[in-house]
């Protein structure tokens, strides 16, 4: 016992809940409950009998309820993770009793958890991470993300873009926790348990485990060429790697220690990362990890309904910070106004109607990032060249996998033991190799290092309705090689073949192909926080875009001498004219003899005016002078 003089001692214990201290005992719960001397201060050590003693002190003295607690073997470590499904099994029927019990166990969960770590993140400041998240982070499978560039080849264009998938994953986990906690605090009737919250944070942490070297270059360019016909995306790799991470590090028991049920929650986390099975029907609830009453949880990490999720919020903020581009979207404001509303038996995350303009701004930020950075013409070219080098090196690279198996770069996705070893470092391994079999690949990577890149020829856009289909991409270099200008127009143009051209078809959209993602967002109004409504584009502004998807066709030439580049430009502009595509922005400059022959390109005066006769004469003179040299 403490005497009166105890208050004068320099190391007296502070009052429970004081800032900067950990409470020695669980906080008081509903009904003024304090653990008796028979209850250990750490509720995670309680057996079912001690849980019953705790419930009795909270006013839950129904013998049937206590018998069920003993029968289900509910221990103290499970208490903070009780949700409505557990309440149902325990026979807690009335809403008042459920709220009372929920309040009691939530008080327990507010007791500081041993092992929480604080990380100083340059984007979100000091963030706290649950000890289970730390256990996941401190594994080889997760540490691998330190060596995978977030923006791939873009780093060769934007020198600040040196950040990796590792720090992005920490940020997504943090934001997922922020959003789920905000919803739980504003709407306790949602019955969001600590178990739900922890699963969502784990999904945010592990959603990018499946990224290969140079991120989207690997699953967007290399794998489709190396494993033609295989539909593999990094989300599938993340699910496979998460399973491997849990099993190879013995984390199932650790998950149970923190109140998770591995049989259910591993499935739930995978669904949060990758979405429902493709074979599922739209009319039925396709998810298995959580019931339809928790449908809104699937919109936090990877929102398949409208694309508004914490993954985007982090990469907007983080990528803009490292690229030196202004980010105009404030995710904190969205979290402030987020609520869950019921729509046709489903619960969806909604926001205030006055925020609709900010959401259009969010998707505008996304498209600006794609134009300025993610689909930068030189960044994409470097990704193409890295992919080409990997293709040439593929059959000569041997990565140790499980059971002594050796994997190629392209087959490592089938063996998570090998995939754990596959990072951006494969670039340096090829570059510094002395193996003669890697000679061709090594030369391509040397060109990147020395900035001796393939030459950019030009860019065009097809009109709506004349876009190029994916199955026709492969034949585009051959089409351009056949578009040589007529000899009577340009007799001395150097001949080029399909092998000299690279054609990159780039899709720019708002994240849902040609659809407006805001059409799938629900809003609530100040007059009724519980009624969800949709807001059409016309109700917002007449200045918003009419189209939400466009196709850009970029052409590069592998030959880097001036004569070949000039010839490639003539081929390209002539091909654009034959196909009826938009005139390249610099078309009148690079091909002044061709653009006047296309009436559609010259019917209106624009900023890119047709070449003057003097310019045409100079170009013709340059052509013949080049030919005589």
CA distance 49 to 54: 9
Report the SS3 class of residue 57: helix
Q: How far is CA 70 from the centre of its chain?
A: 43
Residues linked to residue 504 through DSSP beta bridges, in sequence order: 554
Q: Which residues, 6 or more positions from 240, have their beta carbon under 8 angstroms from its beta carbon? A: 210, 413, 416, 419
Rg (CA), the chain: 30
Which of 130, 207, 216, 234 is catalytic? The answer is 234
- 350 CB burial (10 A radius; 0-12, 13-18, 19+): buried
Report the SS3 class of residue 566: helix
Would residue 422 be called left, alpha or beta, if left means φ above 0 and alpha means ψ between -120 and 50 degrees?
A: beta
Q: Both tokens of residue 496? A: 């080029």
CA distance 454 to 381: 8
CA distance 112 to 185: 18
CA distance 264 to 597: 67
Annotate 517-544 with DSSP letters as a single string: GGGG--EEETTEEEEEE---GGGT-TTS
Report the SS3 class of residue 302: coil
CA distance 575 to 87: 68
Instruction: Answer whether 75's CB lies under 8 Å from 48's CB.
Output: yes
Instruction: Answer whether 211's CB lies under 8 Å from 413's CB.
Output: no
3-state secondary structure 447-492: HHHCCCCCEEEEEECCCCCCCCCHHHHHHHHHHHHCCCCCCCCCCC
Strands (DSSP E) along 358-463, which ranges?
399-400, 406-407, 455-460
Q: How far is CA 374 from the centre of its chain?
A: 13
Q: Which residue has the tokens 């890697």?
A: 438
Q: Produce one character per residue of 242-253: b if its CB has 16 or more CB atoms within 10 Å, e if not.
A: bebbbeebebee
Find, among 266, 244, 262, the residue nearest to 253 by Cα. 262
Find, among 35, 247, 32, 60, the residue nearest to 82 by Cα. 60
234 is catalytic: yes
Q: How far is CA 296 from the centre of its chain?
A: 18
Find, among 444, 450, 430, 446, the residue nearest to 385 by Cα. 444
CA distance 226 to 394: 8
Q: Residue 127: what are its φ and ψ, rounded to 5°?
A: -120, 140
**Could you tell me the strand order of the sheet in which 346-352 lies?**
339-343, 346-352, 523-525, 528-533
**Residues noted as catalytic:** 234
């Amino acid at each position: 016992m403490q005497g009166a003089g105890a208050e004068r001692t320099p190391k007296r214990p502070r009052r429970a809940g004081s800032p900067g201290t950990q409470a020695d005992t669980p906080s008081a719960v509903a009904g003024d409950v304090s653990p008796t001397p028979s209850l250990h201060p750490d509720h995670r050590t309680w057996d079912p009998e001690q849980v019953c003693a705790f419930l009795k002190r909270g006013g839950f003295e129904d013998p049937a309820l206590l018998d069920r607690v003993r029968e289900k073997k509910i221990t103290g470590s499970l208490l903070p993770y009780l949700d409505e499904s557990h309440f149902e099994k325990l026979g807690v029927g009335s809403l008042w009793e459920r709220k009372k019990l929920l309040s009691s166990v939530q008080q327990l969960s507010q007791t500081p958890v041993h092992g929480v770590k604080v990380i100083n993140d340059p984007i979100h400041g000091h963030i706290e991470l649950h000890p289970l998240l730390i256990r996941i982070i401190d594994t080889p499978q997760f540490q691998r993300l330190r060596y995978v560039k977030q923006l791939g080849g873009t780093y060769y264009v934007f020198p600040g873009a040196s950040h990796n998938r590792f720090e992005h994953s920490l940020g997504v986990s943090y934001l997922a926790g922020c959003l789920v906690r905000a919803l739980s605090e504003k709407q306790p009737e949602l019955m969001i348990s600590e178990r739900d919250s922890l699963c969502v944070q784990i999904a945010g942490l592990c959603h990018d485990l499946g990224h290969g070297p140079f991120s989207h270059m690997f699953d967007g360019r290399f794998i489709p060429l190396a494993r033609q016909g295989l539909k593999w995306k990094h989300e599938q790799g993340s699910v496979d790697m998460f399973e491997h991470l849990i099993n190879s590090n013995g984390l199932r028991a650790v998950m149970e220690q923190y109140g998770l049920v591995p049989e259910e929650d591993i499935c739930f986390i995978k669904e949060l990362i990758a979405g429902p099975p493709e074979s599922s029907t739209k009319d039925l609830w396709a998810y298995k990890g959580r019931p339809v009453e928790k449908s809104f949880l699937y919109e936090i990490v990877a929102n398949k309904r409208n694309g508004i999720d914490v993954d985007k919020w982090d990469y907007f903020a983080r990528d803009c910070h490292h690229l030196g581009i202004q980010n105009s979207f404030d995710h904190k404001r969205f979290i402030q106004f987020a609520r869950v509303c019921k729509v046709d038996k489903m619960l969806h995350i909604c926001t205030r109607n006055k925020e609709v303009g900010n959401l259009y701004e969010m998707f505008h930020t996304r498209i600006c990032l794609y134009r300025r950075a993610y689909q930068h013409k030189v960044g994409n070219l470097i990704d193409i060249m890295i992919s080409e080098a990997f293709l040439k090196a593929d059959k000569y690279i041997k990565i140790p996998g499980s059971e002594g198996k050796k994997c190629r770069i392209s087959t490592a996705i089938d063996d998570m033991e090998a995939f754990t070893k596959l990072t951006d470092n494969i670039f340096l391994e090829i570059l510094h190799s002395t193996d003669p079999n890697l000679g061709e690949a090594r030369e391509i990577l040397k060109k990147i290092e020395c900035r001796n890149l393939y030459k950019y020829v030009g860019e065009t856009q097809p009109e709506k309705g004349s876009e190029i289909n994916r199955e026709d991409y492969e034949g585009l270099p051959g089409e351009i090689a056949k578009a040589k200008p007529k000899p009577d127009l340009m007799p001395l143009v150097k001949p080029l073949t399909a092998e000299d051209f690279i054609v990159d078809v780039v899709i720019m959209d708002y994240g849902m192909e040609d659809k407006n993602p805001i059409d799938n967002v629900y809003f609530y109004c100040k007059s009724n926080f519980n009624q969800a409504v949709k807001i059409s584009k016309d109700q917002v502004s007449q200045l918003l875009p009419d189209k939400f998807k466009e196709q850009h066709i970029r052409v590069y030439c592998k030959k880097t001498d001036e004569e070949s580049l000039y010839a490639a430009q003539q081929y390209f502009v002539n091909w654009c004219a034959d196909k009826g595509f938009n005139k390249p922005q610099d078309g009148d400059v690079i091909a002044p003899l061709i653009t006047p022959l296309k009436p559609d390109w010259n019917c209106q005066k624009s900023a890119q005016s047709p070449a003057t006769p003097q310019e045409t004469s100079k170009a013709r003179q340059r052509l013949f002078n080049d030919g005589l040299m």
